[in-house]
A and B are shown apart, each in its own frame.
Chain A
């Protein structure tokens, strides 16, 4: 970890050096936050439960984007399209192959990962801007295909198919208050995986590709395969999140979003949270989703006050607030909320000499 530590604070064993949880308060924080998250269905109302569920699967998709854009530096505008692939794959596997959702989830992730690999192939030829356009093309082509090809399976011009309710033995995950457990457990798994990816050979290779691809190649990092791995992981996690979203909304298709707008919002969440940090997706996703709910609230209040303008006031504040937040963060805090958190921690440790 590249965190500055005070003099005299060093690790005495390999095990200590590799530990993720290093201080007593790390254990406390983790315990309390896990407890708070997993008891949400017991104390939260319907809004809180639904929001926690939405935040959980959105964090997973942004974590995937973080691997691709934050660590590897390959900008992608097609994360929502890979989510769509995952959602469709999972819904189709459960409906037509009759498999359980819990088997369909990893399969759907693999399908989305495969599609991600396919579009990642363009990174062999192009980078920077040009790669953005390749992913932009993917973001247009995949939703189009869901509407215009294999209409019997993909819903055709309805733009949606049904995603069955997951069951496990006698358990039935039809309500958000049950489904949120699945989302949270998957989120814990992906978080542990990503913490470990970011500090092993794979993660260091990703960072070296981002910082200087020529130097990385000279060091023996095979650019092409590592870029493809990043694309695969990003699409894999998008697929997981897509499957979770599809089954918690009980449907999947272009009617439920998954457009260019969503892809842009995921990038914005990542930058506001902090690129290339493990904490970033958590902070960014929570911040933007709460901001969206706030803007819906404001839009609702204003629409009630000015009923003749309600059509244009109800939905317009989301893009305005998101745009302003993104612009302000890019100008004043381009390293995101995760950097703020680091500053806060350092300030606390150095008190009273901070500032």
Chain B
């Protein structure tokens, strides 16, 4: 360990973890209400980022933009569009699959992911878009004095702090929505048992649609946050894949667990980079998956998930 780097990496990792947790939340949301594990979520994240970028007029030549919205309006437009996309996906692709085995549903989301990837590439091009508008410039740095750290201070980019705040606020809002509002309670009831939910008058198919719509919104928000840090590209879907270890760590059924899992994954990724060994530093991209294997072998249900008891 390169100790002077640790405080900096610790805080950076925690801040990155907020976005990972928010992305993980979207997957858990769909899993909880409809038992569909959405492998296309990473691609929804990427698509949302591209949509926002397009709404800000990033794709057109300067002056001749078809649509040229300020960032906040572009985000809102993209959120609405992706909510529609989520509803559409549920209605056209997942509704016919109700009751099909796990493999078929999983492959359906994988097929959707491929389709989204191709469509994004055709619509927006494959090159990295570095002109994503950010409210702060990369040189805006918050310096917190911290004796013992590298340079006796922790440097935080404003962008990173802002994404963390947005991610945590949004995640808390969704968790509150899920636990306290009538619609949220209906979704939880559906997650518990489809038959029981039906018998108390909840329209299960509407809940499925709604959860996909909300998941689309969460994905786009996550995409915007990722894009402000690293620009818009097709790689964002791969970046979003590290939400999977976060979910398994937190437990498949736990929304709060997904958020905490995100923090843990962010921390692991950042702390690995504080190592003195180049091999360990290079392992930042697979460290979450190694952690995933360990979790699967030691505690497959995750930290906050339900333990599965099988009845014969």
Contact = CB atoms under 8 A, between A and B. Distances in A.
A331 B108 CA distance: 9
A313 B122 CA distance: 6
A-B interface, 4 closest residue pairs, ranked by CB to CB distance from nearest: A323-B115, A320-B118, A326-B111, A319-B118
Interface string B93-115: 10011001011101110111111
A134 B244 CA distance: 11
A322 B93 CA distance: 15
Contacts, number: 131
Contacts of A132: 37, 106
A128 B252 CA distance: 13
A130 B296 CA distance: 7
A129 B121 contact: no
A355 interface: no
B200 interface: no
Interface stretch (A87-95, A135-143, A170-178, A183-191): A135-143
Interface of A: 69, 73, 75, 122, 125-126, 128-130, 132-134, 136-137, 140-141, 144, 148-149, 214, 264, 267-268, 271, 275, 309, 311-313, 315-324, 326-327, 330-331, 334
A271 B96 CA distance: 17
Contacts of B285: 140, 144
A148 B293 contact: no
Contact of A327 (B103, B111, B124, B290): B111
A45 B104 CA distance: 38
B283 A317 contact: no
9 contacts: A75-B106, A122-B297, A133-B244, A140-B289, A144-B286, A148-B279, A271-B107, A316-B118, A320-B119
A69 B285 CA distance: 28
Contacts of B300: 125-126, 130
Contacts of A75: 102-103, 106
A214 B310 contact: yes
B125 interface: yes
Nearest to B297: A125
B114 A331 contact: no
B68 interface: no
B282 interface: yes
Nearest to A69: B103
A206 to B, nearest CB: 15
B114 A315 contact: no
Interface residues of B, number: 45
Nearest to B286: A144
User: What's the dominant secondary structure at chain B's contact region?
Assistant: helix
B154 interface: no
B104 A137 contact: no
Contacts of A313: 122
A326 B115 CA distance: 10
Nearest to B301: A130
Given A141-B289, A323-B118, A214 B312 contact: yes
B248 interface: yes
B126 interface: yes
A320 B115 CA distance: 4
Given A130-B300, A264-B110, A327-B112, 9 more contacts: A134-B296, A137-B289, A140-B289, A214-B310, A267-B107, A312-B126, A315-B126, A316-B121, A331-B97
A312 B292 contact: no
Interface string B277-312: 001001101100110110011001000000000101
Nearest to B120: A316
B310 A149 contact: no
Given A137-B289, A140-B289, A129 B37 contact: yes
Contacts of B104: 271, 330, 334
A148 B126 CA distance: 27
Contacts of A275: 103
Given A141-B286, A149-B279, A136 B121 contact: no
A327 B40 CA distance: 13
